[in-house]
């Protein structure tokens, strides 16, 4: 793969990752504010859906984006792998990070759901 194209895709994937984390975090924070400060009696299922939706989208989105990063790093040519950038990118534990980020979203959703019911 052309290294300029790969770098462009990798940069875009990183920005999509950051945007996804920000949107899901804002969504979860706003839902938590509703749970804490609003009267949700009789509307528990609607609020629960607003917890579960972003949780699943965030968890699966993060897994997909970090899988893309793993594939992009594995597609580096030998010259790129031997550079400082290449060795730094190869040292990032993407499989572990995608599990950690997905678990964070799921744990937050479980905490929010326990506050609802």
Q: Which two tokens stand for residue 83?
A: 């550079």
pLDDT tens digits, 11-64: 888 898 889 889 888 988 888 888 889 888 888 888 888 889 888 988 998 899
Helix (H) or strand (E) holding 25: helix 3-37
Half-sphere exposure of 42 (CA within 13 A, CB side): 1
The answer to whether 94 and 73 have CB atoms below 8 angstroms apart is yes
> Domain locations in the chain?
3-17+43-116
Backbone torsions φ then ψ of 60, nearest 5 degrees: -70, -35
Angstrom distance (rounded) from CA 39 to CA 71: 46
For the record, the structure tokens of 8 come out as 């462009």
Give the predicted TM-score (pTM) of the model.
0.76
Interval 53-106: pLDDT, tens: 888 988 998 899 899 889 888 888 888 889 898 899 899 999 999 999 999 989
């Amino acid at each position: 793969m052309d290294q300029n194209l790969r770098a462009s895709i990798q940069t875009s994937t990183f920005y999509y990752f950051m945007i996804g984390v920000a949107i899901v975090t804002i969504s979860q924070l706003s839902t938590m504010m509703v749970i804490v400060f609003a009267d949700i009696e009789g509307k528990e299922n609607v609020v629960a859906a607003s917890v579960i939706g972003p949780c699943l989208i965030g968890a699966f989105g993060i897994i997909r984006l970090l899988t893309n990063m793993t594939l992009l790093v594995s597609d580096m040519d030998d010259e790129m792998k031997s550079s400082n950038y290449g060795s730094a990118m190869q040292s990032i534990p993407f499989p572990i990070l995608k599990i950690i980020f997905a678990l964070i979203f799921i744990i937050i959703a479980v905490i929010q759901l326990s506050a609802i019911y």
